[in-house]
């Protein structure tokens, strides 16, 4: 459609609206409809003030409740700001039926009804929708559409947008088709993301399942949900999936050349989740020196968090093709040792019993698979060297200070028994006597 034609049509519509407004001002039927609009609005205000506190109490569960029913009640409560404009819309609809039965027309009150619907849409976008993407779609598409509908211009604008064709190579589509596609795709994928979040939360609460299996099921559901959402968008918009064959072929060629690593990392991630050899919460160390706690496993990479707060993104393929040391696999314990020494004038036969009893008092030291074991290591230059081996659940780093605590216990136990911890001594022999100093 030519822009000049659209402008001429807009001017005609403006003149028609101006004539309609002038007719309303001089028509008794129009004034009666204005009166009914005012009555409907104040009736909606009065009813809303009476119903809002009651609905607030019914739809607001205690803060401690987190059941599905409680969450559904909180979700419905989000839409309470729409109560006033929707009540006004309903009451105005009743008034419209009355005026049409009496006067045979209800253009004024129908306009008021559409105006209340516009206010409801504006409140929905401004106060209720919190998702950033949906908020942008609502602000720049949904609200303008509601405004055009309220003033009776929606059909003319839609005809103009449908006639405006955008060429894209061998393809062409109208602006209206593009807007519809964005709206439908945005709504469906938002619903898919919400469904995925709910299902992921439910799966992660199933503590009877292995963490790796929970991650695998969550990822499978995510792929399935968004795959269905994509097919729904294509079907609703009337796009044949056979027309995507060329695009699929291009993607296949890309996988064969430039996306090999991405495909390899994706498959490696699936293998990791299936085997469960490394999962979220494990502390791992790779051949390349990367070490940290697994905090997230994605389709492409695994994210490690070090004890100094840094994140390391490790491709999933590295967990398959290189050596990985897992310090915190489920049900395992780790062994550490704390070295110390005593002086040569100590009765070393008493030392193991003293140290083992002291270390066993630590709440984090395990008795299985083995209790604390104090061993004589060697006779050093300055003292007799020992080491106590102990088993703990967890890693001796970050929040855990097992070795430090055990060394404190060793120090205090030796001091209580009067055993000294030696320090290096050196004997210096002077073969040439020092010169005598004059008196």
Of the candidates 132, 245, 141, which has an alpha carbon nearest to the alpha carbon of residue 193? Answer: 132
**Cβ proximity of 272 and 214 under 8 Å:** no
What mean pLDDT comes out for the span 117-123?
Answer: 90
User: Pick from 163, 192, 224: which residue ends a domain?
Assistant: 163
What mean pLDDT comes out for the span 211-239?
Answer: 74
Q: Return the percentage of the chain with pLDDT > 90, whole number.
A: 15
Mean of per-residue pLDDT scores for the chain: 79
User: Pick from 265, 298, 326: which residue ends a domain?
Assistant: 326
What mean pLDDT comes out for the span 385-390?
Answer: 94
For the CA atoms of 362, 367, 370, 375, the dihedral, rounded to the nearest 10 degrees, stands at 30
Same domain? 10 vs 140: yes
pLDDT bin (cut points 50, 70, 90) of residue 243 is low
Same domain? 146 vs 12: yes
- Residue 298 structural domain: 278-326
- Whole-structure pTM value: 0.52
pLDDT of residue 251: 62
Same domain? 67 vs 21: yes
- Report the distance separating Cα 40 and Cα 110, nearest Å: 12
pLDDT of residue 296: 82
pLDDT of residue 8: 58
What mean pLDDT comes out for the span 257-271?
Answer: 74
pLDDT of residue 388: 95
pLDDT of residue 110: 78
Which one is predicted more confidently, 107 or 155?
155
Can the peptide bond before residue 189 be classed as cis, meaning omega within 30 degrees of 0? Answer: no
pLDDT of residue 352: 94
Number of domains composing the chain: 3
Of the candidates 296, 297, 414, 261, which has an alpha carbon nearest to the alpha carbon of residue 352? Answer: 414
Which one is predicted more confidently, 215 or 363?
363
pLDDT of residue 28: 59
Taking only the tens place, the pLDDT of each residue in 23-73 is: 555 555 666 777 777 888 888 889 888 888 888 888 888 877 777 788 788
Q: Is 189 contained in some domain? A: no
For the CA atoms of 68, 218, 290, 300, the dihedral, rounded to the nearest 10 degrees, stands at -130
Write the burial class of residue 393 (CB in 10 Å: 0-12 exposed, 13-18 middle, 19+ buried).
Answer: middle
């Amino acid at each position: 459609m030519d822009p000049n034609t659209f402008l001429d049509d807009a001017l005609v519509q403006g003149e028609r609206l101006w004539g309609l407004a002038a007719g309303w001002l001089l028509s008794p039927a129009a004034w009666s409809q204005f009166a009914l609009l005012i009555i409907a609005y104040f009736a909606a205000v009065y009813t809303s003030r009476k119903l809002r506190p009651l609905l607030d109490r019914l739809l607001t569960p205690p803060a401690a409740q987190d059941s599905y029913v409680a969450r559904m009640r909180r979700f419905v409560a989000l839409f309470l700001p729409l109560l006033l404009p929707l009540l006004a819309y309903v009451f105005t609809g009743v008034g419209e039926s009355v005026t049409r039965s009496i006067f045979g027309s209800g253009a004024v009150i129908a306009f008021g009804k559409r105006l209340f619907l516009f206010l409801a849409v504006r409140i929905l976008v401004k106060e209720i929708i919190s998702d950033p993407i949906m908020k942008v779609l609502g602000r720049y598409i949904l609200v303008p559409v509601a405004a055009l509908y309220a003033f009776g211009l929606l059909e003319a604008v839609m005809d103009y947008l449908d006639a405006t064709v955008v060429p894209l190579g061998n393809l062409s589509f109208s602006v209206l088709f593009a807007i519809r596609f964005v709206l439908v795709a945005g709504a469906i994928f938002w619903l898919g993301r919400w469904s995925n979040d709910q299902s992921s939360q439910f799966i992660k609460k199933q503590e009877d399942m292995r963490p790796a299996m929970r991650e695998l099921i969550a990822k499978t559901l995510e792929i399935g949900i968004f795959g269905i959402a994509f097919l729904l968008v294509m079907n609703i918009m009337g796009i044949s999936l056979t027309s995507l064959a060329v695009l699929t072929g291009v993607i296949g060629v890309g996988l064969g050349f430039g996306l090999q690593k991405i495909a390899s990392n994706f498959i490696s991630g699936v293998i990791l989740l299936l085997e469960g050899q490394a999962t979220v919460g494990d502390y791992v160390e790779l051949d390349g020196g990367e070490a940290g706690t697994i905090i997230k496993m994605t389709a492409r990479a695994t994210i490690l968090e070090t004890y100094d707060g840094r994140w390391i993104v490790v491709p999933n393929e590295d967990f398959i093709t290189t050596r990985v040391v897992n310090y915190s696999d489920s049900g395992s314990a780790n062994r550490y040792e704390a070295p110390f020494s005593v002086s040569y004038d100590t009765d070393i036969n008493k030392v193991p019993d003293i140290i083992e009893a002291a270390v066993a008092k630590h709440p984090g030291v395990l008795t299985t698979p083995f209790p604390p074991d104090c061993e004589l290591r060697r006779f050093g230059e300055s003292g007799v060297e020992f080491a106590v081996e102990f088993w703990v659940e967890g890693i001796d780093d970050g929040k855990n200070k097992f070795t430090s605590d055990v060394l404190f216990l060793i120090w205090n136990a030796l001091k209580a028994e009067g055993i000294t911890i030696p320090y290096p001594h050196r004997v210096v022999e002077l073969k040439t006597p020092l010169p005598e100093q004059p008196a």
